[in-house]
Structure 1
Amino acid sequence: MNFKLGKLAAASVVSLGLAQMAHADVLEGTVTDGSGEAALEGALVKIEGLNRTTSTGRFGDYRFSGVPAGQYDVTVSYIGADPITQTVTITGDSSADFRLGGDIRYLDNVLVVGSSAAQAGAINQQRASDAIISVIDSDGLGNFPDTTVADSLSRVPGLSIKTDQGEGRYVSIRGINPDLIAASINGVRTPSPEDRRGVLLDGVPSDLLDGIEVQKSLTPDVDADTLGGVIDLKTISAFDRDGRFIRGKIEGAYNEITEEVSPKATLTYSDTFADTIGVALSVNYQDLSIETHNNETGEFGLTDDGIGYLNDDYEMRWYDLNRQRLGFVGNFDWRFSENTDLYLRTLFNNYEDDEVRNKFEFKDLDDSEDDGIIAPGSQTVPLNEVDAEARKRREVRQIQTYSLGGDTAWDDWNFKYEVSYAYAEEDDSDNHDVTFRFEDIQDAAADAGLTDTNVVFDFSNPETPVLSGDVLSLVYDPSNYIMDAFEEEKTTNEDKEVAARFDAEYDSVIGNTPVTWKAGVKLRDREKTRDANVIFWEADEDLNLSPYVGSRLLSGWRLPNPMVEWPDANLTTALRNGAGPTFELDEDATNFDSLAEDFTIEETITAVYGMGTFDIGDLTLVAGVRMEDTKTDLTGNVFAEEDDPANLVAREVSNDYSHWLPSVNAKYHFTDKIIGRAAYYAAVVRPSFGEYAPYTLFNDDRDELEVGNPNLDPYEADNFDLGIEFYPTEFSVLSMGVFYKEIDNAIYPATYERDEDINGDLIPVADFRALVPVDLTYLTDAQLADVEEIETYINVGKSEITGVEFNYVQDLGDVSEALDGFLLSGNLTLTDSESTLPDGRKVPFLQQSDTVWNIALGYDKGPWDLRVSANFRGAQLDELTEENLDRMTDERTLVEASAKYKLNDHVQLYLEGKNLTDEPEYYYFGSKRRLSQYDEFGTTVVFGARMTY
């Protein structure tokens, strides 16, 4: 009954707005820089006396409808330029264009060239937005401030990056887990080639972009699948600037570890034809060499006295990678008529990762507790087994997005429509792993006449422990190693989404209050598939490592213990496809790993929404509701018994649920320089694919089981924001905000161990089932009879995130004329988070950083554009293990610097330094004294030239 009354009331308000509409006269036009060639997005356009204000769009365009005929003063303001006012007569369809800044040459206009111009564009778009957003903008020549998307995003307030092999790969907003952050390209949700929802951003070169918008508070017309915000990557368009535009860039990157120069090149072309057709094309290529030095451990235990000891394994890893990226953007715009614009947006990105990884692993170190010596900072342990492993892998990833749509204005109506297709693929089709093992080390040491057969681990520096002992002379002799395992992999992951949307806007006036009504519908049809193909080979006879050794030890290794360069991955390539008479296919293991991990997930989301934007004097209010209905069909495989494909049974699970998601965004102009903001939005984030895929993985002994949980509930969150912005001078901003997120159904990994009774026997299966909050009804008691441990994913109770943000941008020329050209910016985000696990233990929200800050000092004047910056990301909970032993990501500070010099109107040279302090990445178990993983990547210097015509 109440719902019907609500609909009736809404209909009455809409009818009232239609009835009170003024005559549908229209004022539209564009706002550009002084040259008239660079569009200015985010400029505020105000009709004095009517209380009507709007902001310019991407192409500098603005539009008022429903304006009473007459003569008005129209004022345009843009941070970085003096405001201008001109008198406009409106009758019927009228137009007025504005130019801001001096009428000087395009290439010298301060509004469109250099870091200051990009910063001005970002500030204006943020000020004009009705939601809480952060923007990274290119300057008028399309120059992006950084060479990678991740580099740029790391400077946005509240944003930090997660790296892979030293490159920024995933982005966190306000410290939140990247899997809970949404990303899109030109508004099209970007699929993920992995089994997660977090989107890879290292594969999209910044040279293909014209800007990035990070929306932190959602409005009803935005997909609600994010807890932290939406990152939208905007590619170039011909109408971003006037006339023909050509830009070429060539650069090299030198890394101190690889000691190689990695080339990169970009070519961009855009042009407009007859002022109605725009074509923008850009191609980018990079060939990047990476070398990473790593050591890590499996897990730690604690003695009764609380002393940590290594009780699993210790590994050293050497990664030698070559990453090739080829990106292409083709965007086409057609101004079909005075009222209709059509577009086609395309992006293709191909990423190839050729990797050689050597791993040297000291195994079965859990004897320390019984047979070794444990002391603070060191342990002595008898050594039993060591593995030498080589992996050679070629991984190909593709991301493609295509969108076809348009925008039609008709009197007081505006219609937007779009169909899109997005595709991502990860193809591991050219991989092999080979492991040689040195077993019975104690016997070999005795045969060699060694009296001390122990190894001492010195953890005085826990990031890089030092090993010592006479037995290591045998460990570093390759002739002691016999092949243990050889496997090949040809696995693919695919993610496809087809989407269509239609939005309608209607401008009205209720009394003296302008109101824009908006409603729309969107359909997203997504399919995620994993097709694993792993082939295991067994040697019929002993195969010694010696023929597969090239160099004995790795030169230039930066960690204290010598690192082997064997097996030589190029030599072990000859073993592929079971080459040689000494190999036999392990059918059971091959069938199991090739079928049990396969899954298909079909996800259909239907959304409808309605909202209104009310301009009530100095208050702008955006309010409405979005409904999202989700249908999922999931298919996985279960081996009923043994590993014979004939015993394979498909498991199918379907779910259907709906969410009503209200949101309110308010913006209030206290003065021309002070803006207050408040926002509330509800969000729903569906589980990651790897968490709720219906897979069932037994280990070889069938005493351990790993299962996905297709019955997981999605994250549900209420999000609140309150902030204030102060623009004290023409080119500065000081802002502060607080936020609070209340989250239900957060998803955590969980492990359940089967207890023993007083006789030492496993408790009955029925009792074990009752302890595990996951549907196991599809498995028989016989299949679970020997299972002692189950790993899965579960929903937990309420989680909370509370935070505060500060942002400061200052043109130091406003402080002193002597500092003209200097620009200072900094931001700080502090958060406190908590989740309650089913056992009552309270932990920080998974992968939530408590502190994120950025600071940068730049100089942009004349031919010079200089900047030095630092980015800090606080420690975070990475994985749950057990209390005091959870895996943590350590805090990290990255320092970068860049220098750009304009030789003339067309050529600019630049030099950049990345990771200047040679900062490693460190993970630990509960305490920094307990190593989990440590990586060194070295410092990289980038040099290049950019040519613009």
Structure 2
Amino acid sequence: MNLQKKSFIATSVKTALYGTTALITSIAASNAVAQTTEENAATDESVEVIEVTGIRGSLASAAELKREASTFVDSITAADASSLPDLSVAEALSRIPGVTVTKFDIGSDGGDFPSAEGSGNLVRGLGFNRVELNGRDAFSANGARDLDLASIPPQLIGGVDVYKNQTSDITEGGIGGTINVRTLDPFDKDGLYGVVSVEGTYSDLREDTSPQFSALVSNRWKTDAGEFGILVSGSYSELNSLFNGYQSGAILPVPVGSVAGDNFNDFDVEDFSGGVIPQEGQTVGIVNGFQLRSTEVDRERSSVYIAGQWRSSDEKVKVTAKYLRLDNETFELERTTEAQDGGFAFEQAVSDNAVQGSDIVLAPFTTSVGVPRCGSGDTGDEPNDFCNELVPIDGGLFQEGNITSQQDAWFGAPGVRIGNLGIGRTTESTTDDLSLNVQWQIDDNWKADFDIHRTTSDFQFRSLWVGSSTNLDVFTRPDIDDPEVSFSVSPGTLIQDSAVFDQGVNQQPITTPTSTADPAGSFHGFAADEFQDGDGDSVAARADFTYEFDNSDWFKSVKFGARHSERDQVYQEAALNWQAATQAWNGGIARFNAFDAEDTFEIVDFSDFQRGGVVTGDNTSFVYANSRFLRNHDEYFEFALNEPDLVNSNFSPFTDSEGNQRRDENFNEQYTDDQTSTVSESVTNFYVRLDISKDFNNGMYLDANAGLRFVDVSIDSDGFFNFMTIDPDDPNDSIPEVEPFDDINDFAPNGVSFFNQDSEFRTVGIDDSYLLPSLNLKLNLTDSSLIRFGVSRGLTLPNIADLNASQTITGTSRLTRPMLDPDSDVDVSTIPATGGGFSRFTIRGGNPDLLPTTSNNYDLSYEWYGEAGNSFALSLFYKDIKNVIQNDATTQVDSITLDGDTIPIFFEGSINQAEAEILGLEISGQYFFDFLPGIWSNFGVQANYTALDVDAAPPTLIL
């Protein structure tokens, strides 16, 4: 059950200052601008030219681009992108039929809650898209393959084209679609041209206005040496936003009444009230916890763009050089209050009757198949989150109720364990793109196009978690439409002296907390850090030749060419390193009111969460670690190392739980070999395309193209294959008579020897070739209507990070001990184990053997184009997709026999597993109300609708 409310309202206010022409636009409104050309300005008699500009002109231009296209294309032009209140190109693209903007954070640990602005695009429901910048490769070095469209300011572009099917001259990579971002050229404007734009975006929850500035100037000159042009553009923008999200946990099966022989928590009949009262022996569905998340996002983005052009006097040669730099920096300050596992959770690790309820209201609910119960726990064969049992529910579904827990009552802290987590995340990326293009009209029939470009990109991600923990009684109503949570300090809360660690100068007495905002009741429970770095470099060159036929009834032109690209990328990732800071079971807790350091915590009020009504009652504020730690991670590292109350903390900024180095003495991040991936990719293309055109002399004529593209892909991935470390058996760990039978070393020597191998450096190479045919037909029925058909085969290569050759193999071991009477006081560790071994091996990491995802694409459309930009299109499409890459999948890949046991080997990561078929319908149109009187004639409507029917074969499920 999930409820996500995006609480972000953006209002864009723009002021545009034009060097030579004042332009004022309104949605779907037309403006007539009198413009005098340079040539006529030099004569005694000038001719007034009426030019349709603004939004209406750009919409009409986009419709004309679609009409004249050689395949299925939708476009937006400069006025669409720069005049509408969009925060990025990603959001502007949502106006194109079949294109949606992803409103969820898709970065590290993202995907759970909405983001303030679009973070990516789906074309016809698919994310397998190729992003181009002026028809060339563009990417961010974050482990993905393409440039994040959210990083491109709309002021930078001259237009965006979305190709939904293929022609052979389009570079492969876009199964969903190919998105080509076109920047402005100096020759796009006549003479001196300039634009200055000032904008503001107001976020009402944040109560903050963010500025945005952009400027562009261009000019062109004719000389005896030809025509020259130059364009310079720059932009800077900020966006400070806040969004809130509520999420409830999964439904878990909970028995009513004690069940002999299990350790699962249960409720009693008297815990329930209302119209649905379960009977003893039934199973009810209880919603497992909740999460309240409030996130501030501060984003800065800047761009610099320079373009120069030269055209020969005979206009046969045109040279274009461009440089573009994009800089993005985002800081996220997240505060999450949630019921943590071990408190409001019903899993094997929770002892019987730890969680208690009262006044629980149920709704009628039954399921014959059942819901998963996770954490078998008995033998140790599987991890705690191993969901290997489906339990039917026949007693009802949780609607609301009071929940408490005795899980931590042993040290004087009754109540549900509540975590108040603060996270500080910083993401920085830089992309530089330099290109040179030469177009040469060789003669009346032949023309050539030569292009070379280089793209470099840097990426950096830093994340720090600092957790505050407390114990509270909770009332919760996980209603998807009207959630409510209230908190109170559990009666009898008084932490025992033995569970508190207070060794500094600022020693405070142990007291019962007065409220949820009392720092005496909150302790620093845990910390975690995560970081990533990426560096990429790509060089590509291509040559295209076109021959246009003379006086042919059918053949129009033939085009052929070649392209070669080299891409090298290093991606490093140190995964989340979660460690307990202070716990009652690990030397005692450190309370926030007893630290020697100053300004270690802050009180955050949730009373206005989602505009109020979610967090209710008298306790709406919580104790969080001070945000200064999250904004400057080094400050927290200094605090963690020097605070006397944290000497028992397991968290270290220098090493992880395995002892691997994470930072040097100056807190500079360090990566191990298995955290580093180096991928080198070489792609060579050859293609041919034949265009035909036939007039049937009855008002109908045919335009068509057929082609074939050859793709040769060579990928080398460097990395390390690493083995889990198993410590030797310590003879001093147990009593002498038990020691020979107390450790996995005693029962599985071959398995232990298998893991005591050194890491192996390896290079995994892939060399594959593909043929991609395409056919596009456009039958023009009349001057205003046409039918279009297209069929093609496409492919999308895996993400760079997924091709990582570094992997680590671990093992799950078990010891078998004699069964004891449940009432026995005997310590099981004093009894020799009767057996032991490994139950499963697991390989985690990248997958350099991933295959490209391929698709057969079919499109059919009817299109109508009226006067003055009016248009309508009805499209049907079908995609048959193979080798879909499933992320975070688990599958058995092999087995091995050691110590007499056959042990299955599983792989966890990205694999080619799924297939899918997509059948879709698109309807789009725009119409201007010219027939209405007065100002109403300036209005119009643009609308589109897309429906998908997806038949996907799910990946193999390994429980």
TM-score by length of 1: 0.68
- Whether 1:466 and 2:485 are equivalent positions in the alignment is yes
Q: What's the CA shift for 1:788? A: 9.6
8 A contact 2:488–2:515 mirrored in 1: no
Q: Is the contact made by 1:170 and 1:199 (CA closer than 8 Å) also made in structure 2?
A: no
* Match in the other structure for 2:59: 119
Give 1:483's aligned amino acid. H
Deviation at 1:262, TM superposition (A): 0.7
Tell me, yes or no, if the aligned pair for 1:138 and 1:144 is still in contact at 8 Å: no
Deviates further, 675-684 or 521-530: 521-530
Question: Matched residues in 2 for 1:802 and 1:456: separation?
Answer: 46
Query: How far did residue 614 of structure 1 move?
Result: 0.9
Give the aligned residue type for 1:459: P
Partner secondary structure for residue 119 of structure 2: strand
Q: Which residue of 1 aligns with 2:292?
A: 316
Deviation at 1:512, TM superposition (A): 2.7
Alignment pair present for 1:329 and 2:305: yes
1:149 to 53, 65, 89: 89
- Give, as a single letter, the amino acid of the residue that structure 1 aligns with 2:490: V
In the aligned structure 2, how far is the partner of 1:522 from the partner of 1:267?
35
Q: 1:838 to 1:155 in 2, by over 3 A?
A: closer
Aligned amino acid, residue 288 of structure 1: L
Checking the alignment, whether the CA contact within 8 Å between 1:140 and 1:241 is kept in structure 2 is no
Query: 1:746 aligned to 2:884?
Result: yes
Aligned to 1:404: 436
**Does the Cα contact within 8 Å between 2:252 and 2:346 map onto a contact in 1?**
no
Distance change in 2, residues 1:551/1:118 (3 Å) = same
- Give the drift of 1:476: 4.9
1:806 matches 2:757 = no
User: 2:660 matched to 1:591?
Assistant: yes
Using a 3 Å threshold, how does the CA distance of structure 1 residues 785 and 433 change in structure 2: closer, same or farther? farther
Corresponding residue number in structure 2 for 1:550: 602
Secondary structure at the aligned position of 2:660 is classed as: helix
Aligned partner of 2:330: which letter? D
Q: CA RMSD in A?
A: 3.7
Cα distance in 1, alignment partners of residues 204 and 482 from structure 2: 21
Cα offset, 1:379, TM superposition: 5.8
| DSSP 3-state at the match of 2:541 | strand
1:325 and 1:478 map into 2 onto residues whose CA distance is 38
Correspondence list, 1:746-895, <5 A? 746-749=884-887, 751-752=889-890, 772-774=891-893, 791-796=908-913, 798-814=915-931, 819-839=936-956
* 197, 207, 222: which one aligns with 1:274: 222
2:781 is aligned to 670
Q: Does 1:619 align with 2:598?
A: no
1:526 matched residue in structure 2: 567
Match of 1:91 in 2: none
The residue type paired with residue 471 of structure 1 is: S
Could you tell me which of 719, 724, 733 is aligned with 2:857? 719
Evaluate the alpha carbon distance shift between residue 464 and residue 651 of structure 1 in structure 2; reply closer, same or farther with a 3 A threshold.
farther
Number of residue-to-residue matches in the alignment: 707
What corresponds to 1:218 in structure 2?
166
CA distance in 1, matches of 2:657, 2:757: 12
Residue 161 and residue 571 in structure 1: after superposition, are their counterparts in 2 closer, same or farther (change >3 A)? closer
Q: Please tell me the residue identity of whatever aligns with 1:545.
A: F
Equivalence map 1:648-687=2 (5 Å) = 648-687=759-798
- Matching residue of 1:915: none
Which letter does structure 2 place at the counterpart of 1:173? Answer: V
Q: Distance in 1 between matches of 2:537 and 2:757?
A: 30
Match for residue 501 of structure 1?
542
Q: What is the CA–CA distance in structure 2 between the aligned matches of 1:736 and 1:306, rounded to whole Å? A: 51
**Structure 2 CA distance, aligned partners of 1:521 and 1:463?**
59
8 Å Cα contact 2:432-2:456 kept in structure 1: yes
The residue identity in structure 2 corresponding to 1:257 is L
1:138 aligned to which of 73, 78, 91: 78
**AA of the residue aligned to 1:602:** S
Going from structure 1 to structure 2, the CA distance change for 1:565 and 1:357 (only over 3 Å counts) comes to farther
Q: Which residue identity does 2:521 align to in structure 1?
A: N
Question: Matches of 2:659 and 2:221 in 1, distance apart?
Answer: 58
| d(CA) in 2 for partners of 1:701, 1:361 | 30
The residue aligned with 2:340 is 363
- 2:117 corresponds in structure 1 to 167
Is contact 2:569-2:680 (8 Å) kept?
yes
C-alpha displacement at 1:695, in angstroms? 3.9
Mapped to 2, the partners of 1:242 and 1:122 lie a distance apart of 21
Inter-partner Cα distance in structure 2 for 1:260 and 1:250: 16
Identity within the alignment, % = 21
Match of 1:580? 642
Structure 2: tracts of 5 or more residues without a match: 1-19, 22-29, 33-38, 41-45, 106-114, 256-281, 363-396, 408-416, 492-513, 663-670, 696-700, 728-755, 814-839
Mapped contact 2:175–2:796 kept (Cα < 8 A): yes
Give the unaligned 5+ runs of structure 1.
Answer: 1-36, 39-78, 82-95, 98-102, 442-452, 753-771, 842-880, 883-949
Does structure 1 conserve the Cα–Cα contact (< 8 Å) formed by 2:579 and 2:657? Answer: no
CA–CA separation in structure 1 for the residues paired with 2:459 and 2:177? 25
In 2: Cα distance, 1:730 partner to 1:468 partner: 62
The answer on whether the counterparts of 2:81 and 2:159 sit within 8 Å (CA) in structure 1 is no
Range 796-805 or range 527-536, more displaced: 527-536
Any conservation in 1 of the 2:524–2:581 contact (CA below 8 Å)? yes
CA distance in 1, matches of 2:71, 2:773: 14
Shift of 1:195: 2.6
The AA in structure 2 aligned to 1:280 is L
Query: What pairs up with 1:346-357 in 2 under 5 angstroms?
Result: 346-357=323-334
How far apart are residue 807 of structure 1 and its match?
Answer: 1.2
Q: Contact (CA 8 Å) 1:191, 1:496: kept in 2 or not? A: no
Distance change (3 Å), C-alpha of 1:683 and 1:465: farther
Q: In the alignment, is the contact (CA less than 8 A) between 1:553 and 1:565 conserved in 2? A: no
1:251-266 pair list within 5 angstroms: 251-266=199-214
Aligned match for 1:639, one of 718, 722, 734: 722
**Which residue type is aligned with residue 351 of structure 1?**
N
Q: Distance in 2 between matches of 1:120 and 1:499?
A: 34
From 157, 165, 178, the counterpart of 1:209: 157
The answer for the alignment partner of 1:844 in structure 2 is none
C-alpha contact 1:293 1:319 (8 A) present in aligned 2 = yes
Q: How does 1:913-924 map to 2 (within 5 A)?
A: none
1:252 partner SS = strand
Match of 1:601 in 2: 679
Please name the residue that 1:395 is paired with. 427
Normalising by structure 2, report the TM-score.
Answer: 0.67
Residue identity matched to 1:500: A
- Distance 1:613-1:321 versus aligned 2 partners, 3 A rule: same
Pick closer, same or farther for the CA change 1:733–1:302 going to 2, 3 Å.
farther
> Could you say if the C-alpha distance between residues 468 and 433 of structure 1 is closer, same or farther in structure 2, counting changes exceeding 3 Å?
closer
Q: 2: distance between equivalents of 1:394 and 1:785?
A: 46
TM-aligned CA deviation for residue 416 of structure 1: 0.6
The superposition leaves residues 228-256 of structure 1 with CA deviations (integer Å, 9 ceiling, x where unpaired) of 21111111111111001111011211111
- Structure 1 residues 563 and 602: CA distance shift in structure 2, 3 A: farther
Cα distance in 2 for residues equivalent to 1:539 and 1:742: 51
User: Partners of 1:141 and 1:528 in 2: how far apart?
Assistant: 32
CA distance in 2, matches of 1:229, 1:140: 20
| Larger Rg, first or second structure (1 or 2) | 2
The 8 Å contact of residues 522 and 623 in structure 2, kept in 1 or not, is answered as no
* Secondary structure of 2:60's aligned partner: helix
Q: Residue in 2 aligned with 1:892?
A: none
In structure 2, C-alpha distance between the alignment counterparts of 1:597 and 1:780, rounded to whole Å? 29
